[in-house]
Chains A and B, each alone.
Chain A
Amino acid sequence: MYRILIAVCIWLFAHLPFASAQDNCNIIVQCRVVETHNNQPLFPVSVYIDEMKREFETDEDGRFQITNACAGIYHIHFHATGYEHLVKELKIEGNTTLKFSLAHIDKELDEVVVADEHTKTIIQSKSQLRRMDITANSGKTLGDMLQAVNGVSVLSNGATIAKPVIHGLYGNRIIILNNGIRQEDQQWGSEHAPNIDPFLANNITVLKGAAGVRYGTDAIGGVVLVEPAAVRTMQGWGGEVNLAGFSNNRMGVASALLEHGFKYIKGLGIRVQGTLKQGGNYRIPGHWAANTGTRESNYSATLAYKKAHFGAEVFYSHFNTELGVYRGAHTGNEKDLLFAINSDTPTIRAGFTYNIARPMQHIRHDLWKLKLNADNRAGAFSLVYAYQHNFRQEFDVIRGNTDKAQLNLTLNTQTLNLNFDHKAIGHITGQIGIDGIYQENYMQDGDRLFIPNYRSPGVAAYAIERYRWNKLTLEAGLRYDYRHYEVYNPEGNNQAIVRYDFDYSNASGTIGIKHKIKPNWEWTATLANAWRAPQANELFSAGLHHSAARIELGDKNLQPEKAYSLNLETVYNVPDKLHLEASLYTQYINDFIYLSPGADILTIRGYFKSFGYKQTNAWLNGADIAFRYNIVKPLEANLKASFLFARDVTQQDWLILMPADRVSAGIKYTFNISKSLKDVFVGVDGRYIFNQWRIPANFDAIDNPRPPAAYTVLDAQCGVTIYVNGQPLYTSITIMNALNQQYRDYMDAFRYFINQPGTNVVVRFRVPFNFYGLKSKN
């Protein structure tokens, strides 16, 4: 199998010399979409070209680029909520720049207001994974996928559980917005991966740095926006099928999406989507990792109705996963742990299996969302209500015969957002809104006590105003949050329930400035703050971490964490030549909550280390640099680097568990073979992760062993788009860890026990399809 794949890659390489000379389909067309009346860029606008069967989406600047076009006549469709459906006939003869303008559907309005999100943008250092990036990584978990974003790393438990880390912060310090809804899936746990199906996403945006004003409490490290494409309301059928196979854990992933725009009810569209995934034990060089299988079955449905000034959307998604936890990471006491750490080979021998045994996790996440939006002369209103039900079961290794889980945690969250984007007053646009949240967390009778039951309502109000003048955009925002917690904690020897009430409130602010010095060069500066209330686990946790063999103790007197961040970013872009992004950030976190070692506790299993939640002041400084350069046109080289210096200011020491510095470089050659074999690429990527030497002075007393050595991992990929009767089939082969390198990562909780996975060959297929009800004409 492996050999065949390599042979395919070599075959593609063999076509290199004459490939570019073969046909003349290398035309590049730069396009920009603006609003007819005020010339403001429009995004997201979905664009579809009939003859090419290719789809595009505009960026924040209203731009998109058609590459590898052949000379000829094309029909191009533009789609955006609240705007007319535009079809243009285009004659392409050579490289060119084009501008399109879309008019708001309501022709009576002479002054156009911003409808929905089309010109909404928040000034913030950000990176995006586009449709093609997501396709190139399909089948991976959301956390793993996000590693492609500069400045983002992962906190993991082996190869199947990964949490995104933005500028060194993770868990409760970042927010993930799933289809506009703040994901509440017990993200406080370091082994609790985001319960989101990445196949839902059309693009994923990472906002780096504090973004508390728009996104609320907890947005200290940043925000991940997982955004599906707008539902099709144009009549006809569309959809796509994605397939991926992974050699390492013999994992198969299949995902399909189908959408339909109704003929007789104009503006009504429906989309259904589903994903299945099954993988077995994964292989580290030389061994199988016992009980590391994964299973996932997800589905979602969206019903959307759009009229000129009114829109409604109902969305439901279901996420269901079973995850095996490496058997050797479940230890009884400190001695067991030490023995497992010191063992050169895995303490548990295993072969390959798809079976998942204890210890394991089973998680279900349901999301219901209702969105209504309307606009008039005053502006655009939207109302979003969502209900999330998260049910997490953990199955420990136990004595006795039971299929019961030892931990059954339920978290129900209701959120409500009412937002008003007022019409432009001179050069000023802006939004005001209110947010509400109500949460209930509870466990089941007989559960191992971990975090207590609680109820928590919260409200917030915000306003963000933006002044746009020529090449300059200024933005300022304010927000006030109030959050209440009602906690029922079992205490004392008879475990009597004691009720605690906490009230937290705080103001957040943001000031941003964006300056376009030249059309292809802009810089951004953002000064923002965010805060978060201590979470139930930090206040009350009183239990054991099996894999860490340590006891964690909450502290009821913790104060909210407050973060202040300053981000500077510059982006320089020469299309098809070079792209440079550099950002510098500094963040000061007051009352940063962390785990500090305490006294040893004697139990019936011997002594255990205990760790208590403490607070200090932290100061994080870092830089992210990304550089892309086309040496010759089809040959693109890229270089990325991220550095982070995370200090504990109070103790004048480094903070523990912060991602190490990293650099990566890659080279990619893109060419066409024929009209039916296009966008062929071959590439190699390497990443070097430094040894994390910035560790606290008392590291040896609290963690063992020291952070693993620096490592280099090489990935290789090749791919091609095959056109059969004009129908594209995207296919690619990726070889991850091509050299079967043995390495461990500091941010991986299994680094104590086993290496990272070995070579993994991934084959991917993607087939989009699209049938219009009407033949395109205009």
Chain B
Amino acid sequence: MKNNIIRLTALTAFAAISFTACKKDKVTTPEPVEQELITTVRLKVTKLDDMSIKTFTYKVENGFGSTRQGTVTIDSVKLAANKEYSVEVELLNEKETPAEDVTKEVKEESNEHLFVYQSSPTTGNGSIGFGMGNKDGNGNPFNQTIRFLTAGAGKGAITVTLKHEPTNKAATTPDATGGETDVEATFPVVLQ
């Protein structure tokens, strides 16, 4: 009887020690790295008339996934009316120094990605029409580079959407393409 109690007490004491013993071991707090972070969409726009180059930036400092967006920079896309432009979209992670070029990865997986462009208004002054874009490895649209055909002078907006694993690459609106949105950037447009 007594033996049992002694046994239990000893075990309790032992357990209590082992319980508190594991207290101050180091907890390494990992550097949180947002996977696949994109902070910046850059449009590199070349005027076909004179091959002059302009860049427009859409940047949310903390990209995606953070609860604080940080500084948001959105350039107005100022272009000449009734001209044709060759456009290349670049994606960057500027949280890294030097900035990481995410475009490369997206290009490598062009089969699983699609850039979709929308103009508001869709036609008329201030609108932009979209010409042919580049293709993915299977010959389907990828549109990382594309032609812009500006309409008459006016104000509007364009939205650049990057879709991951779209179900229909021939579609021209983000809903119809299916898949998940990786990037959605809306630039104000001024055509002069």
Contact = CB atoms under 8 A, between A and B. Distances in A.
- Kindly list the 9 A-B residue pairs having the minimum CB-CB distance in the complex, ordered from nearest: A332-B181, A332-B180, A606-B184, A374-B4, A445-B30, A449-B32, A603-B64, A333-B181, A542-B67
Contact of B181 (A309, A335, A447): A335
Contacts of A336: 174, 179-181
Interface stretch (B10-18, B129-137, B142-150): B10-18
A487 to B, nearest CB: 10
Contact of B32 (A375, A418, A490): A490
Contact of B35 (A381, A396, A438, A542): A396
A528 interface: no
A438 B184 CA distance: 44
A446 interface: yes
Contact of A400 (B29, B105, B186): B105
A493 interface: yes
B185 interface: yes
Q: Which of B5, B32, B186 has the most CB of A within 10 A?
A: B32
14 contacts: A309-B1, A372-B11, A376-B4, A438-B23, A447-B30, A457-B23, A490-B32, A493-B62, A543-B65, A602-B60, A604-B38, A604-B40, A604-B41, A605-B184
**Chain A CB within 10 Å, residue with most, of B29, B105, B165:** B29
Interface in A285-343: 309-310, 330-333, 335-336, 339
B49 interface: no
A376 B5 contact: yes
A301 B107 CA distance: 52
A542 B62 CA distance: 13
B164 interface: yes
A332 B177 CA distance: 13
A399 B114 CA distance: 13
Contact of A348 (B34, B106, B167): B167
A436 interface: yes
Given A383-B12, A453-B27, 12 more contacts: A309-B4, A333-B184, A347-B178, A399-B106, A399-B109, A414-B19, A442-B27, A449-B32, A542-B66, A544-B64, A553-B67, A602-B60
Interface residues of A, number: 61
Contacts of B22: 414, 438
A22 interface: no
B36 A449 contact: no
Contacts, number: 157
B169 to A, nearest CB: 15
Interface residues of B, number: 58
B5 A374 contact: yes
A250 B8 CA distance: 50
B181 A605 contact: yes
Contacts of A347: 167, 178
A551 B62 CA distance: 14
B27 A440 contact: yes
A631 interface: no
B8 A374 contact: yes
B51 interface: no
B183 interface: yes
A397 interface: yes
A54 B51 CA distance: 90
Nearest to B174: A335
Given A436-B19, A542-B66, A551-B67, A332 B33 contact: no
Contacts of B179: 332, 336
Nearest to A610: B67
Contacts of B126: none
Given A399-B106, A604-B38, A604-B185, A438 B19 contact: yes
Contacts of B33: 445-447
Contacts of B113: 399
A495 interface: yes
B70 interface: yes
B22 to A, nearest CB: 7
A769 interface: no
B127 to A, nearest CB: 21
Interface in B155-186: 163-165, 167, 174-175, 178-186
Contacts of A406: 35
Given A416-B15, A542-B67, A398 B36 contact: yes
A688 interface: no
Contacts of B38: 604
A397 B61 contact: no
B69 interface: yes
A553 B2 CA distance: 56
B99 interface: no
Nearest to A440: B27
B29 A603 contact: no
A331 B22 CA distance: 42
A447 B32 contact: yes
Interface in A401-452: 406, 414, 416, 418, 436, 438, 440, 442-449, 452
Nearest to A331: B180
A605 B181 CA distance: 7
A551 B65 CA distance: 8
A602 B184 CA distance: 10
Interface string B34-47: 11101111000000
A375 B1 CA distance: 8
A767 B106 CA distance: 56
A602 B72 contact: yes
A6 interface: no
A497 B30 CA distance: 9
Interface string B110-146: 0011000000000000000000000000000000000
Contacts of A447: 30, 32-33
Contacts of A418: 12
A446 B2 CA distance: 55
B105 to A, nearest CB: 6
B31 interface: yes
Interface string A449-476: 1001101010000000000000000000
Contacts of A309: 1, 4
Contacts of B165: 397
A229 interface: no
A488 interface: yes
Nearest to A446: B33
B180 A330 contact: yes
B184 A335 contact: yes
A610 B163 CA distance: 22
Interface in A335-392: 335-336, 339, 347-349, 372, 374-377, 381, 383, 385
Contacts of A397: 164-165, 180
A339 B32 contact: no
Given A332-B164, A333-B181, A385 B15 contact: yes
A406 B181 CA distance: 18
B167 A493 contact: no
A335 B31 contact: no
A339 B176 CA distance: 9
Given A347-B178, A397-B165, A446-B30, A376 B1 contact: yes
B96 to A, nearest CB: 13
A332 B105 CA distance: 18
A543 B164 CA distance: 20
A383 B30 contact: no
B69 to A, nearest CB: 5
B69 A603 contact: yes
Contacts of B30: 442-447, 453
